[in-house]
Amino acid sequence: MRSREKVYFLACAGRFCLGNTVRPTNPFSDDMIKAARIALSLTAVVGVGATFAACGGVPGNAVATVDGEAVNKDQFNHWMAVAAKSTGQPNAAVPDPDADYKKCIAAKRKSTPAPAKGQPKVTDEQLKTQCKQEYDQLRNQVMQLLISFQWIQGEAETMDVKVTDAEVKKSFDEQKKQSFPKEEDYKKFIQTSGQTEADILQRVKLDLLSNKIRDKVVKGKDNVSDKAIQDFYNKNKARFAQPEKRDLRVVLTKGKAEADKAKAALDGGDSWTAVAKKYSIDDTSKASGGKLPAQAKGTLDKELDEAVFSAKKGELVGPVKTQYGYYVFTVTNVTAASQQTLAEAKETIKQTLQSQNQQKALDGFVKDFTARWKEKTECSEGYKTSDCKNGPKATPTPSVQGAVPEGS
């Protein structure tokens, strides 16, 4: 699971994201065009030419069936072409196993720099291997995309979640205006991306459906009782406590003799800044005149820690031997330990429990959603992915340059 923009999302699961503020997918963004992955929410979903399939098996003109509907090869080929264009090379060739990757090999040969003197030339077989790897990765990502469209659309129908044409148009117009102040820039985008406006409108629609499904799943999960808040506070009081902290001024020396001299100088009225500069071997505290602020118990070297938290404020202490050398110090300020009351911590606890409840609901839904729809998905030989009932088990797939665009 890969998150998109963490500032907008608190947590994500499967093909849906959970968050306080959801920014609509921008189908025009550069990131979307260059993105090398399809991920966690179905906001990058596209139109699929689907027809009803006969019972049993996948039709010859399809790459998959989802709940009895065929996902056509034409759409697969369309999005493979879009993926190739997303490399930033308008004339990039789609790796095509049926043609033994000849166009892909030729394109790579053309863009491959000449080898350095004495180095062997890249062979066609090596380029073919690269093309096959790219094809396999792009194929898997395109299949994920097309299958995801069917899944989210089917789930929306099951949950009676709908998006009106007016909602789609409003979101589309807003994002288009933001991304393309000039109409000619939009037309150029359409031309260079290989997409149609219908593709983009459908993706916007599926973005909105995805958000509505997520919202319906987590609806009511933000209700948190006072008892739940009280119980959480009682079990996690340490999370709402601040330990005593002490501000110090220190001088660290390598040997005891230097520490004795530093202490004598301080007793004689020399300033901490001057003494630290002259004697201290700790560059950090030395640069600040020996200041070491806000030290909590247990965070210092053991011997120093014990001495610091048994010392009186203003007392000059040392030398204290530690593994780092000898310390001379004084405590300049003590901030007493504090404990947030239930009333003070209530809002923080409430938000934490709301987030936990919503995420638990979303996780459960995604697990069930994935299992149900995978059971309804069958893929043709050569197009099988981990989303297919008859496909391989899920394994991490590395990204490649040029892939199915997702939302930004």
What confidence score (pLDDT) does residue 15 get? 53
Q: How far is Cα of residue 155 from the mean position of the Cα atoms in its chain?
A: 25
Enter the DSSP assignment of 97. Answer: G
Per DSSP, the residues of 333-399 read EEE--EE--HHHHHHHHHHHHHHHHHHHHHHHHHHHHHHHHHHTEEE-TT---TTSTTSPPP-----
Angle, helices 256-267/272-279, rounded to nearest 10 degrees = 160
Per-residue pLDDT tens listing for the chain (408 residues): 333 322 222 223 345 544 333 333 444 444 333 332 333 232 333 334 444 444 456 778 899 999 999 999 999 998 888 877 776 555 556 777 767 888 888 888 888 888 888 889 999 999 999 888 888 888 888 898 899 899 999 999 999 999 999 999 999 999 999 999 899 999 998 888 888 899 889 889 988 999 999 999 999 998 999 999 999 999 999 999 999 999 999 999 999 999 999 999 999 999 999 999 999 999 888 889 999 999 999 899 999 999 999 999 999 998 999 999 999 999 999 999 999 999 999 999 999 999 999 999 999 999 999 999 999 999 999 899 999 999 888 765 444 444 444 443
DSSP class per residue in 160-194: T----HHHHHHHHHHHHHHH-SSHHHHHHHHHHH-
Residue 66 CA, distance from chain mean position? 29
How close are the terminal C-alpha atoms of the chain, in Å?
15
- What's the pLDDT score for residue 92? 58
316 close to 267: Cβ distance less than 8 angstroms: yes
SS3 of 72, please? Answer: strand
Query: Mapping DSSP to helix (H, G, I), strand (E, B) and coil, where does residue 331 land?
Result: strand
**Nearest Cα to Cα of residue 192 among 47, 75, 74, 88:** 88
- Strands across the sheet with 62-66, in order? 50-52, 69-72, 62-66, 377-379
pLDDT confidence of residue 93: 62
> CB within 8 A of 332, min separation 6: which ones?
247, 248, 249, 313, 314
Residue with tokens 């080929």: 77
Residue 137's pLDDT is what?
Answer: 84
pLDDT of residue 97: 74
pLDDT of residue 361: 94
Judge whether 222 and 354 are in contact, CB under 8 Å. yes
Give domain limits for the chain. Answer: 11-219, 244-336
* Nearest alpha-carbon partner for 379 in 49, 54, 66: 66
The second-level CATH assignment, the architecture, of 244-336 is Roll (3.10)
d(CA 103, CA 207): 35
